[in-house]
Structure 1
Amino acid sequence: MERVLIVDDEPGVRHFLKKILERTYEVDTAADGEGALAAIAAAPPAAILLDWKLPGIAGVELLRAIRGRLPEVSVVVITAFGDTDTAIQVIEEGAFDYLTKPLDLDTVREVIGRGVHVVRAGEGAEIREVAPGERLKGNQLIGNAPPMVAVYKQIAQVAKLDVTVLIRGDSGTGKELVARTLHRYSRRASAPFVAVNCAAIPENLLESELFGYAPGAFTGADPHGRPGRFEQAAGGTLFLDEVGDMELALQAKVLRVLQDHTFQRLGGNATLSPDVRVLAATNRPLEEWVAEGGFRIDLFHRLNGVTIELPALRDHFDDLPDLLAHFIQRLNVELGLHLRGFEPAAVALLAAYPWPGNVRELENTVRRAMVMARLDYLSADAVRDALSTQAHAVGGIDPRCASLVEQAFDRAVVDGVGPYAAVMAMVERLVVKVALARTKGNQVQAARLLGITRTTLRKKIEEYGL
């Protein structure tokens, strides 16, 4: 039977919690920090219920001492103050979870059960170790399943040939990675690789983005003009991502470049002849788009001469272990983490999910699981929680988060402050603070984790006094 230690200075609380848990666990109790450390030395528990406000040793010091002696133990902090700062401090110091008074019996049982399970799962768990430094030489395609091997063969056949290539595949399959690989192994590898996402740039700006503009081409234009992406990619490769989203008029200009290797800047008369290899990608069924009149058939035939089809992740699940190892290695570096590997059972969970967002969605899920991981490896439980969060991303909210938001809302109303601005500021401050804590204050890593620029992060740090 697993052992649980209850640390609280109130005899009634100790008695109450012991009665709840002793049918399932061996339960020890302590009234203060000294007693807790003595109980740990005598009989190490799997989980500890720790009151944050104790006489003698402060809660934070006691938590550090416990973690120093038993780094694998699940410590659940009990506090009467469910405020943001306490929650952050508790989690930063390595607590498994925290509960606010008055305690709910079912919640106590559930949290302690999870904590004990995590410790038990970590004992003797089979871990696939991930060697640091492997596959960290930049972005690259990962996988050895037959569908991916077929892609590698196609890349090898056409990389050194100066031909246009159309890369097709669902969103998130790695089309830009294929384009970059083609460039890296081409005769143009030492020249620029320039990528343009045709779907991300407004239609009225895409023409000047691609072809540049002459001086005075439009109001507000740079008086010296500006080169476009075709010129910027001179001697190298231009990658047109999501080319199927390009409007028909612009398709005609791109077709002319592919056919005649000439174009004019927007508002200009001079004919330019760029030496550029064009690669394109789409997740659209272009044949259908042509039939509907949304894509020029002549441009389609010009692009479709050489095609590389990327498989959906569901079609090469044999590559999941290698992909998982790769993401752990890379994200360890990016986020300043130190996960040593993953539990093979985690792969089985990943294989049971359909992955509509393909490898990109897998990477985001692994990132979320790593950030929230309780152990020094990626466990099946961590992956299960990440997948659960993903499945309920719309409409679901953690009750503890809801409670904090409600408290902030009510406080703002009492203070006569607009609750929307007050609550949003509280949440934003909390998110930034947690990101900085997770990355040990590294602003570059925190900005990556948050998905914002470092400049924006600095403004938020200054705004919230962090």
Structure 2
Amino acid sequence: MKFSILIVDDDKIVCNSLKRILGNKEYTINTIYTAKDALEEIYNNNPDLVILDYKLPDKNGLEVLKELKEKVPHVLVIILTAYGNVLLAVGAMKYGAYDFIEKEAEPELVRFTVQKALDTIRLQKEVQALQQEKFFENDLNRVVSNSAVMKKILELAGQFAQSNTTVLLTGETGTGKSLIAEYIHHKSQRFNQPFLTVNCSAIPHELIESELFGYEKGAFTGARSRGKIGLIEKANNGTIFLDEIGELSLDLQAKLLHVLEKSEFFRVGGVESIQVNIRFIIATNADLNTMINENRFRNDLYYRINVASLHMPPVRERQEDIISLAKYFINHFNKKFNKNVNKISSTAETILNNYYWPGNIREIRNIIERVMILIKDSEITENDLCQLQEQTKSFKGGPMTFPFCVNLGSGKNLLHEVQTAIISHTLKIANNNKTKAAQFLGIPRTSLQFYIDKYEILKDNQIT
């Protein structure tokens, strides 16, 4: 493993001296004399280690350090200081410097300090390589994120992964909450530790406490003679994903709150607490605020879990991802069913994009699986999506989230923008059938036609 080192000092003699001391086949060493050039070099070429002089002609070394830690926090920095400036260097370490070297230090000490930093970098790279291997091993590159909203979610998920904070995932059924939970786990420092999923709605209420917390021998009639380790204990040092948290009873919510706050719990029938080091990721498709108002969910637990939260959008709000999701599942079922489907016709793409997907990603998967079982050609056409078209025709109305936003204060006529967006989206849902769209909107067909003409909606598309 070869490392790159950047020496930043306005004194060329110091630069050459350090370069001579550190001469090694394992390193490539570059020298820069100003802060401006150093920052440009670091941003462009991303060196492993920077040896940074505390005093530079165009900028204080501490200012450079702060900027680096904000923009490229992974780069290790050793502060180079003149004799007698040790207190300043120690202060710089508080801002994220790895270590410091005095300019008059013995060559052996310089080599030792640099080697120690490079050993740290080597370990970090080995961990990152292992983490990446686990990431692909668990097929987490299947997260589709063409839409801006999903790119933002993955960005936040990556940031949340670096802490041990409890994460709350909300959103409709089938939006990918479990996949994002896995994504967070495998991006965290716990990636090589257990990841357990518990669907709280799938376990009978009378069993869920013993499943989560385990039990001691003789705790209840029918208990194993040796007792049982619960899922929380099994996930120690790793991550546990509690799906459908709203299904837990109030007394179990209280016990979960105790684990979250104290990192300890009692087995059923136990008298001694068990300490755990565990990261909780919690998901629900319910409105927890409504449940709190109905006294079905504890508000203290809600405040405890709602620290780092991510709302998973329904598929209808991330339309840019629909075709990519379909193609992902086509590739998946190509392998499973030994098929060779490699294309979706433009008409079929339109049908997929216009459908409202109440079942979200899970429904896309099911539809594509059905198509792949029956298809004989290499292209998916509208004929393969008859079921989807029938479901679209049979849509009778109901709650619908419209995927648009408005820019207050933009100077545009926002009323017209909102009307255009609502009519356009409703026409998509109605497969461009104006009679059906007018019924959904609760207006006469003539009024709908007036707005279509006025705002030039779907001017280039065929509507009926």
Category of TM-score, reference length = shorter chain: 0.5 to 0.7
Equivalent position of 2:285 in the other structure: 283
Q: Bigger shift: 187-196 or 355-364?
A: 355-364
Compute the TM-score of the two structures, normalised by the length of structure 1: 0.53
Within 2, Cα distance between the matches of 1:314 and 1:185?
A: 27
Deviation at 1:161, TM superposition (A): 0.6
Question: How many percent of aligned residue pairs carry the same amino acid?
Answer: 36
Pair 344,388 (structure 1): closer, same or farther in 2 beyond 3 Å: same
Deviation at 1:208, TM superposition (A): 0.6
- Asked whether the 8 Å contact 1:243–1:281 carries over to 2, the reply is yes
Equivalent position of 1:216 in the other structure: 218
Paired residue total: 260
Equivalent position of 1:367 in the other structure: 369
Within 1, Cα distance between the matches of 2:332 and 2:393?
A: 25
SS at match of 1:200: coil
Pair 247,172 (structure 1): closer, same or farther in 2 beyond 3 Å: same
Equivalent position of 1:301 in the other structure: 303
Deviation at 1:146, TM superposition (A): 1.0
- Asked whether the 8 Å contact 1:366–1:383 carries over to 2, the reply is no
- Asked whether the 8 Å contact 1:211–1:264 carries over to 2, the reply is yes
Within 1, Cα distance between the matches of 2:335 and 2:271?
A: 49
Equivalent position of 2:335 in the other structure: 333
- Letter of the 1:205 partner, please give it: L
Of 239, 245, 248, 1:246 maps to 248
Matched, 1:292 2:304: no
Equivalent position of 1:140 in the other structure: 142
- Letter of the 1:277 partner, please give it: R
Of 157, 174, 184, 1:172 maps to 174
- Letter of the 1:181 partner, please give it: Y
Deviation at 1:386, TM superposition (A): 4.8
Deviation at 1:163, TM superposition (A): 0.4
Pair 234,321 (structure 1): closer, same or farther in 2 beyond 3 Å: same
The 5 Å alignment of 1:40-439 reads 137-138=139-140, 140-388=142-390
Q: Structure 1 stretches (4+) deviating beyond 6 angstroms?
A: 389-393
Within 2, Cα distance between the matches of 1:137 and 1:150?
A: 20
SS at match of 2:215: coil
Pair 389,331 (structure 1): closer, same or farther in 2 beyond 3 Å: farther
Within 2, Cα distance between the matches of 1:335 and 1:354?
A: 27
- Asked whether the 8 Å contact 2:213–2:266 carries over to 1, the reply is yes
Residues 293-328 of structure 1 show CA distances to partners (whole Å, capped at 9, x for unaligned) of: 000000000010110011110001111121111001
Within 1, Cα distance between the matches of 2:210 and 2:335?
A: 38
Residues 42-75 of structure 1 show CA distances to partners (whole Å, capped at 9, x for unaligned) of: xxxxxxxxxxxxxxxxxxxxxxxxxxxxxxxxxx
Q: Bigger shift: 383-392 or 158-167?
A: 383-392
- Asked whether the 8 Å contact 1:170–1:312 carries over to 2, the reply is yes
- Asked whether the 8 Å contact 2:215–2:228 carries over to 1, the reply is yes
Within 2, Cα distance between the matches of 1:372 and 1:135?
A: 30
- Asked whether the 8 Å contact 1:369–1:386 carries over to 2, the reply is no
- Letter of the 2:177 partner, please give it: K
Q: Bigger shift: 319-328 or 341-350?
A: 341-350
Within 2, Cα distance between the matches of 1:388 and 1:190?
A: 46
Residues 390-411 of structure 1 show CA distances to partners (whole Å, capped at 9, x for unaligned) of: 9779xxxxxxxxxxxxxxxxxx
Deviation at 1:374, TM superposition (A): 3.2
- Asked whether the 8 Å contact 1:239–1:279 carries over to 2, the reply is yes
Pair 241,136 (structure 1): closer, same or farther in 2 beyond 3 Å: closer
Residues 83-125 of structure 1 show CA distances to partners (whole Å, capped at 9, x for unaligned) of: xxxxxxxxxxxxxxxxxxxxxxxxxxxxxxxxxxxxxxxxxxx
Within 2, Cα distance between the matches of 1:136 and 1:187?
A: 16
Residues 180-222 of structure 1 show CA distances to partners (whole Å, capped at 9, x for unaligned) of: 0000100000001000000111111110110011111122221
Compute the TM-score of the two structures, normalised by the length of structure 2: 0.54
Residues 327-370 of structure 1 show CA distances to partners (whole Å, capped at 9, x for unaligned) of: 01111222333322322321210122111111111111111111
Equivalent position of 2:21 in the other structure: none
- Asked whether the 8 Å contact 2:170–2:312 carries over to 1, the reply is yes
Within 1, Cα distance between the matches of 2:279 and 2:137?
A: 28
- Letter of the 2:157 partner, please give it: I
- Asked whether the 8 Å contact 1:368–1:386 carries over to 2, the reply is no
Q: Which has the higher contact order (CA 8 A, sep 6+)?
A: 1
- Asked whether the 8 Å contact 2:323–2:353 carries over to 1, the reply is no
